[in-house]
Amino acid sequence: MSGDTPPEGPRQLRKGRAKASDPAALAEFALRPDPADPRLTERVAGVDQDGRAVETAVVVERPLTLFLNGQEIVTMMTIGDYPDYLAVGYLLNQNMLHPEDVIESIDVDEELEVVVVRTERQTNYEEKLKKKVRTSGCAQGTVFGDLMEKFETVKLPAEAVLKTSWLVTLSKKINSVPSLYLEAGAIHGCVLCEGDRPLLYMEDVGRHNAVDKIAGYMLLHGIGPEDKIFYTTGRLTSEMVIKTVQMGIPILVSRSGFTAWGVELAKQAGLTLVGRAKGKRFVALAGAERLVFDHDPEALEDEDPRHQRKSGRADDAA
Amino acid sequence: MSGDTPPEGPRQLRKGRAKASDPAALAEFALRPDPADPRLTERVAGVDQDGRAVETAVVVERPLTLFLNGQEIVTMMTIGDYPDYLAVGYLLNQNMLHPEDVIESIDVDEELEVVVVRTERQTNYEEKLKKKVRTSGCAQGTVFGDLMEKFETVKLPAEAVLKTSWLVTLSKKINSVPSLYLEAGAIHGCVLCEGDRPLLYMEDVGRHNAVDKIAGYMLLHGIGPEDKIFYTTGRLTSEMVIKTVQMGIPILVSRSGFTAWGVELAKQAGLTLVGRAKGKRFVALAGAERLVFDHDPEALEDEDPRHQRKSGRADDAA
């Protein structure tokens, strides 16, 4: 698996502060999964329930070790499509990189499975790396201490709205666009949206990676969070709420359910938290004041089966 | 949330080596979720798609900090039902506790949200704690280095078998017994099985916790792994395969999908890996030689909808 080149060819290293660009310039699905990329799935031979030989696609999972200015931070298991966005987003969401930091270089060595981020500011997170919190993910969850340090200072924009008609449209668009999920299952998706338009759709074996890749893209391309909606296929846990709030995004939507602490933190931060969102159905457990009920409750159908996450693989990303 | 007493009352601290008991003594569902436990779910008020007030159950998620002989190891987010099994299983699966270790005490302080495991052997895992690998879970995934150190030495029993008729029965039993999943969603389940009998059913907000709680129970009650089947609602990632192999269990079954590295490691270790198991359907991508096709392919129906994981919440544990 080493020695591969990134899916869209080596991206130019960005030197200097991320500059603000016009968010309106982002096309629908400006970034989306590439299920045709041969390096993201493998075909594996097996047998089915009747002993017949079958061949099936499975997603890859490969290590990527992240260094910040000479300090080894963490080794991540990822599909490996956007190591630069993943690295920057991870550091940002861990408060090891600040939005105002000047990034001097991001070097990806595909063979060594290493990504190195260099900043103008000297960094040393030895103390921080000692503090570990295991989160509620479905694998070994750990965040380094101080994830809350930024959380409490964030002020989410009150004027942002979520029209209920958008939820139906977003769900339909996201779940019908080609994806690794539809190709191979066993993967999480996160989507940055604006109104009823999905802008950035990232997938990864770890949901945390999908979130971080979006955060990295937003920083490096100067995308503002104020008018955005964050859509995830995963659960609304404390970690997911903390990350969304830290990213400054006022609305978090999921097809999945809630944990009690996720709800509590969303209320504290004034985040709009919508879960169990399938077709026209949903439950909002925090920040309902941003909801605009603009759909006709009688007219709209339930989710079209063709736009559900594949029922035969409904638990696949679990 | 602090100050609670454990769901089944404080368990007696076990002193001394775990002694082998008769595995046959384990009744079906000897341990299973208690959705009626008021401390495991909370009822939260919200609004639905039509703006109507609704109240819904959500699972709790609370921190638990683990110490081993005075050294702080990790803080876990858990539902908190079995802190002692979780602590022991975590340490065991991280190779910080050896099966032959004498456990002097396990102290749970519900108010401080702390569990302390003390062993006869002096331990110091400072170096190990520095090495972090983020796994493919759906939250921040991290395992400490050397998770592979034991993996390569494990020899799984070749004589273990998996009858295809058991898969149908197990799935039916597991998905119809009362659970936090059916009550509130957004939770993972792991089940230790023998033949077509589910023995230990653990749930947790983190799948890794559910696995660790089973490992802890097995050690403390001397349950052997050789003739067991491990059933999980989560994906078959590298981490899941490594843990199952380390636990010495020869067969791993999931309703969910695979990652390529999970399949590769299962092949290396000689683990039987069955995924996308719903009703009579499944795909085996490793160790198919342990399969015994004893069901009548014509006679058996697909999974009864009543025994599926709730379709409305199919992604809930994602």
In this prediction, residues A204-220 reach a mean pLDDT of: 94
Query: For each of chain B's 318 residues, which pLDDT tens digit applies?
Result: 333 433 343 343 344 444 445 545 789 999 999 999 999 999 999 999 999 999 999 999 898 999 999 898 888 889 999 999 999 999 999 889 999 999 999 999 988 899 999 999 999 887 777 665 554 443 333 444 566 778 889 999 999 999 999 999 999 999 999 999 999 998 999 999 999 999 999 999 988 899 999 999 999 999 999 999 999 999 999 889 999 999 999 999 999 999 999 999 999 999 999 999 988 899 999 999 999 999 876 665 566 655 566 433 333 334
B 250-309 near A (Cβ less than 8 A): 255-263, 276, 278, 280-286, 288, 291, 293, 295, 297, 309
Crossing angle of helices B207-221 and B83-93, in 10° steps, is 90
Q: Do B42 and A311 touch (CB under 8 A)?
A: no
Q: For residue A290, what is the DSSP state?
A: G
Q: Do B316 and A235 touch (CB under 8 A)?
A: yes
Say if the ipTM goes beyond 0.90.
no
Q: Do B314 and A316 touch (CB under 8 A)?
A: no
B 121-180 near A (Cβ less than 8 A): 129-130, 132-143, 164, 167
Mutating which of A40, A47, A59, A138 best tests the B interface, going by the most B Cβ atoms within 10 A?
Answer: A138
Distance (Å, rounded) from C-alpha A8 to C-alpha A14?
A: 16
Q: What is the pLDDT of residue B130?
A: 67
Distance (Å, rounded) from C-alpha A298 to C-alpha A295?
A: 9
A75 closest CB neighbour out of B78, B134, B315: B134
Q: Do B129 and A134 touch (CB under 8 A)?
A: no
Distance (Å, rounded) from C-alpha B250 to C-alpha B284?
A: 13
pLDDT at A256 over 50: yes
- Tell me the chain B residues in contact with residue A114 when contact means C-beta distances shorter than 8 Å: none
- Tell me the chain A residues in contact with residue B138 when contact means C-beta distances shorter than 8 Å: 137-139, 188, 206-208, 234-235, 317-318
Q: Is B95 left (phi over 0), alpha (psi -120 to 50) or beta?
A: left
Distance (Å, rounded) from C-alpha B222 to C-alpha B89?
A: 13
Distance (Å, rounded) from C-alpha A297 to C-alpha A280?
A: 8
A127-147 pLDDT, tens digit per residue, is: 777 665 554 443 333 444 566
Number of Cβ within a 10 Å radius of residue B259: 29
Enumerate residues 6+ apart whose C-beta is below 8 A from B41: A260, B35, B57, B58, B59, B60, B180, B183, B184
B 39-58 near A (Cβ less than 8 A): 41-42, 44-51, 54, 56, 58
A20-67 pLDDT, tens digit per residue, is: 455 457 899 999 999 999 999 999 999 999 999 999 999 999 989 999
Enumerate residues 6+ apart whose C-beta is below 8 A from B135: A77, A139, A140, A206, B141, B142, B143, B237, B238, B239
B188 closest CB neighbour out of A138, A167, A283: A138
Nearest Cα of chain A lies from the Cα of B149 at a distance, in angstroms, of: 17
Query: Strand B62-68 and strand B71-78: pairing?
Result: antiparallel
**pTM of the predicted model as reported, rounded to 2 decimal places:** 0.85
Q: A195 has which bridge partners?
A: none
